[in-house]
Chain A
Amino acid sequence: MTSLSLRAALVSCLMFAVFVLAWHLATRGTGAVQQMDPEYAKLMGITATQGKSAMPGPLEIGAKLWEHLNRPFYDNGPNDKGLGIQLGYSIARVLTGYLLAVLVALPIGFLIGMSPLMSRALDPYIQILKPISPLAWMPLALYTIKDSSLSAIFVIFICSLWPMLINTAFGVAAVRREWLNVARTLEVGPIRRAFTIILPAAAPTILTGMRISIGIAWLVIVAAEMLVGGTGIGYFVWNEWNNLSITNVIVAIVTIGVVGMVLDQILARVTKLVTFPE
């Protein structure tokens, strides 16, 4: 087992090294250099004067990443904040929208799971609302809520709602008949039945839904923030794109990936805690 994970790690590192090397070679800058009047060249960027590739190389990305890691919390006014602050804003938004979604999805999911009637009645709505893209909600949210940060939270909420709802309903509905029958023989009340039998039995499925949802919420926030602007990692990406600073955009992409992974891992751990052997 250990030797397998060791070998896997080795292969991972090797792939990374090959990738970085290829990237470095590809962006070394071999574009045609024109002869330019030095006065004129002073007015032009290095892509034009030195034929440098518009795509930054891995060394530049590394240097930029180091720079951001060294001062993640600087604040130069409302439009220029450190990467740490921006991530903080994004995570706060994601968690708010996500927790709201949890508060709504779990009870409704329970209801749907316990009642075949409600399950059928609500099914068409869920099926229609589920595949709607977060960005399609955005103009509607901005127009009706009339507040951009609330709109962003609403979009997170609406997009992370469905996987949790569906999984909760499925988990609750799939509790084994025998267990419920045992509860009935022992004359367990409905509330006690819900909390001591159904909830633990459905917990792994519910948490899987929550895990899918947090991933979606994190996907959505970047897009939402790019649209409404102001703060957050999505705004950071947009602001740097504005300046055509691909280096910073890549740094942000890496950060987004790492944070998304951490969020996912947290829920994966929690899922492990509630999983039970049958």
Chain B
Amino acid sequence: MSSFDDPFDADRALNRGGCACGRHISQAEHERDAQIQCVAVESEEKRYEGVVASAVMRAMFPKDVARRAFLKGIGASTALAAISQFFPLKTATEAFAQGTGALEKKDLKVGFIPITCATPIIMAHPMGFYAKQGLNVEVVKTAGWAVIRDKTLNKEYDAAHMLAPMPIAITMGLGSQPIPFTVPAIENINGQGITLAIKHKDKRDPKDWKGMKFAIPFDYSIHNYLLRYYLAEHGLDPDTDVQLRAVPPPEMVANLRADNIDGFLAPDNICQRAIYDGVGFLHILSKEIWDGHPCCSFAASREFIATAPNSFAALTRAIVDATAYASKEENRKQIAAAIAPANYLNAPETVLEQVLTGTYADGLGNIKKDPKRVDFDPFPWQSFAVWMLTQMKRWGQVKGEVDYKGIAEQVYLATDMTKVMKEMGLTPPASTYKSFAVMGKTFDPAKPEEYIASFKIKKAA
């Protein structure tokens, strides 16, 4: 987690840059405010105080001549002290320091699905990361992926927790009207698993899985692509040899107990919940397929960014802040306790603790330890998007020519994330593409078509 060296450095800059002095979001605003003063000061607290004081002074003495006369008469420091007596400058300064530009919208609604992938979005509420950015965010639990998509498209939610491929699918108009969507931040990496019903505990070789029924959370999910990839690597065609069903995560455990499905590749806490209730065991963690894979994303529409850029920036900062906090192992227990109540995940705390700390029961009587079972890193690598696009094409969800780079760069806002991370005093990666390996096979984001062609089992014509 190199990108999170010190997320709680009080001195980190809050502003987004954009003008010459860095205090305004645009050069135009800079010029409008230029008459106040725009000099570099050592700390931002001081700087805000200066701005606020000038504003107060200007309000008190609309005529410049009068102000100068007043200042000349009694001296600047005396004047400041005098004003402070009847105008609480300190309070005004604090209010101002919440964000750089004025927030267009303070009351925001963010939808989430109750799984541990949503940890940063959820915990930012009880642990005050939204409030720190001056936002009043309501986190709303939602029944399923299609509903969260529709509610976000309806603008009932300003932003939402979505599966990483969903914003790509929405932008491309797959399963909905094409509406430009973006992923300013990834929420979690890893943190999924293949869980099988207890009765299959001797069938650990995927070659024996022919004819089984598996649940995945959604068609446009990393789960779908990972499970298909895993099965195909073991010689099973996921379209003909097994049955894949989209089932909302909360219903998976009930279905597994009822013997409707043989297993699932699902988000945690669902995997661990199946173990906790004694109906399933963990076959493998998703990180054994692709270590560091993205799972869920924090998504917002282009329109929201255009209409409320400052609120969007503040929201993104809150998410990055929360993600940074969640990435630290020592914080995980506290987070588990914060998100367990009925208002958030509504799950037993031990289950969440096992997921987040990575010390867990595997369902077969062993205690396993893997601190990276789930991890949090907000950087939306554009190569992630390219990989998902290759899988969409591989399994026939998209057909024909695909503008891999174009779509990836339009949806995955890696450049903006780089900026936000810099402003927050974090070190973003130098590039927005990276190569990685899935089950030992290296993926080169520059050659997506060759990558698809290299697979024996695929649907793409």
Contact of B342 among A42, A143, A243 (CB under 8 A): A243
* Chain B residues in 8 Å Cβ range of A229: 140-143, 147
Instruction: Return A152 CB to nearest CB of chain B, in Å.
Output: 12
B346/A242 in contact, CB under 8 A? yes
Instruction: Return A155 CB to nearest CB of chain B, in Å.
Output: 14
* Contact stretch, chosen from A44-52, A105-113, A126-134, A260-268: A44-52
Instruction: Return A104 CB to nearest CB of chain B, in Å.
Output: 25
B277/A243 in contact, CB under 8 A? no
* Chain A residues in 8 Å Cβ range of B254: 241, 244
* Most chain A beta-carbon contacts within 10 A, residue among B142, B150, B360, B361: B361
A110 to B141, CA, bound (A): 44
Instruction: Return B107 CB to nearest CB of chain A, in Å.
Output: 12
Known contacts A79-B343, A243-B342; decide if A143 and B150 are in contact (CB<8 Å): yes
Instruction: Return A158 CB to nearest CB of chain B, in Å.
Output: 18
A228/B147 in contact, CB under 8 A? yes
B365/A37 in contact, CB under 8 A? yes
B342/A43 in contact, CB under 8 A? no
* Chain B residues in 8 Å Cβ range of A241: 250-251, 254
Q: Is A250 an interface residue (CB 8 A)?
A: no
A102 to B346, CA, bound (A): 39
* Contact stretch, chosen from B74-82, B181-189, B347-355: B347-355
Q: Is A197 an interface residue (CB 8 A)?
A: no
B276/A142 in contact, CB under 8 A? no
Q: Report A20-47 CB contacts with B as 1/0, cut-off 8 Å.
A: 0000000000000010110110111101
Known contacts A48-B277, A76-B341, A244-B277; decide if A42 and B143 are in contact (CB<8 Å): no
* Chain A residues in 8 Å Cβ range of B361: 40, 43-44
B276/A45 in contact, CB under 8 A? yes
Q: Is B25 an interface residue (CB 8 A)?
A: no
Q: Report B116-158 CB contacts with A as 1/0, cut-off 8 Å.
A: 0000000000000000000000111111001100110111100
* Chain B residues in 8 Å Cβ range of A79: 139-141, 342-344, 346
B143/A40 in contact, CB under 8 A? no
Known contacts A148-B154, A227-B147; decide if A77 and B343 are in contact (CB<8 Å): yes
Q: Report B242-278 CB contacts with A as 1/0, cut-off 8 Å.
A: 0000000011011001000000000000000101111
* Chain B residues in 8 Å Cβ range of A238: 143, 250
A157 to B447, CA, bound (A): 54
A46 to B16, CA, bound (A): 51
B156/A147 in contact, CB under 8 A? yes
Q: Is B367 an interface residue (CB 8 A)?
A: yes
A139 to B146, CA, bound (A): 10
Q: Is B91 an interface residue (CB 8 A)?
A: no
Q: Is A226 an interface residue (CB 8 A)?
A: yes
Contact residues on B (Cβ < 8 Å of other chain), bracket: 35 or more
Known contacts A79-B140, A227-B143, A244-B273; decide if A142 and B347 are in contact (CB<8 Å): no
Residue of B nearest to A227 (CB): B143
Q: Is B445 an interface residue (CB 8 A)?
A: no
A244 to B139, CA, bound (A): 21
A123 to B250, CA, bound (A): 42
Known contacts A45-B348, A79-B343, A80-B341; decide if A147 and B154 are in contact (CB<8 Å): yes
Known contacts A36-B365, A239-B342; decide if A43 and B354 are in contact (CB<8 Å): yes
* Chain B residues in 8 Å Cβ range of A143: 150
B154/A142 in contact, CB under 8 A? yes
Instruction: Return B153 CB to nearest CB of chain A, in Å.
Output: 8
Q: Report A120-157 CB contacts with B as 1/0, cut-off 8 Å.
A: 00000000000000000001001100111000000000
The residues in A between 195 and 248 inclusive whose CB is less than 8 angstroms from any CB of B are 226-230, 238-244
A152 to B143, CA, bound (A): 14
B350/A43 in contact, CB under 8 A? yes
Q: Is B380 an interface residue (CB 8 A)?
A: no
Residue of A nearest to B253 (CB): A244
Known contacts A45-B348, A80-B343; decide if A142 and B150 are in contact (CB<8 Å): yes
Instruction: Return B306 CB to nearest CB of chain A, in Å.
Output: 19
Residue of A nearest to B115 (CB): A242
Instruction: Return A35 CB to nearest CB of chain B, in Å.
Output: 9
* Chain A residues in 8 Å Cβ range of B150: 139, 142-143
* Chain B residues in 8 Å Cβ range of A34: 365
Contact of A44 among B147, B276, B342, B344 (CB under 8 A): B276
A27 to B367, CA, bound (A): 30
A36 to B151, CA, bound (A): 45
A48/B343 in contact, CB under 8 A? no
Q: Is B366 an interface residue (CB 8 A)?
A: yes
* Chain A residues in 8 Å Cβ range of B253: 244
* Chain A residues in 8 Å Cβ range of B367: 37, 39-40, 43
A239/B346 in contact, CB under 8 A? yes
Instruction: Return B421 CB to nearest CB of chain A, in Å.
Output: 30
Residue of B nearest to A240 (CB): B346
* Chain B residues in 8 Å Cβ range of A244: 250, 253-254, 273, 277
* Chain B residues in 8 Å Cβ range of A44: 275-276, 278, 361
A43/B360 in contact, CB under 8 A? yes
Residue of B nearest to A226 (CB): B143
B343/A148 in contact, CB under 8 A? no
* Chain B residues in 8 Å Cβ range of A243: 342, 346-348
* Chain A residues in 8 Å Cβ range of B101: none
Q: Is B448 an interface residue (CB 8 A)?
A: no
B343/A76 in contact, CB under 8 A? yes
Q: Is B193 an interface residue (CB 8 A)?
A: no
Q: Is A277 an interface residue (CB 8 A)?
A: no
The residues in B between 16 and 58 inclusive whose CB is less than 8 angstroms from any CB of A are none
* Chain A residues in 8 Å Cβ range of B276: 43-45, 48
* Chain A residues in 8 Å Cβ range of B294: none
A54 to B367, CA, bound (A): 23
The residues in B between 206 and 225 inclusive whose CB is less than 8 angstroms from any CB of A are none
Contact of B278 among A42, A48, A80, A139 (CB under 8 A): A48
* Chain B residues in 8 Å Cβ range of A190: none
Q: Is A78 an interface residue (CB 8 A)?
A: yes
A242 to B366, CA, bound (A): 26
Residue of A nearest to B364 (CB): A40
Q: Is B99 an interface residue (CB 8 A)?
A: no
A-B contact pairs, 8 of them (CB 8 A): A34-B365, A37-B365, A43-B276, A47-B278, A78-B139, A78-B141, A78-B343, A146-B154
3 pairs of A and B residues whose beta carbons are closest in the complex: A48-B278, A80-B343, A43-B361
Known: A44-B361, A76-B341. 14 other contacts (CB 8 A): A39-B367, A42-B350, A43-B350, A45-B278, A79-B139, A79-B141, A79-B343, A146-B155, A229-B142, A239-B141, A243-B347, A244-B253, A244-B254, A244-B273
Which residues of B are in contact with A by a Cβ distance under 8 Å? 114, 138-143, 146-147, 150-151, 153-156, 250-251, 253-254, 257, 273, 275-278, 341-344, 346-348, 350, 354, 360-361, 365-367
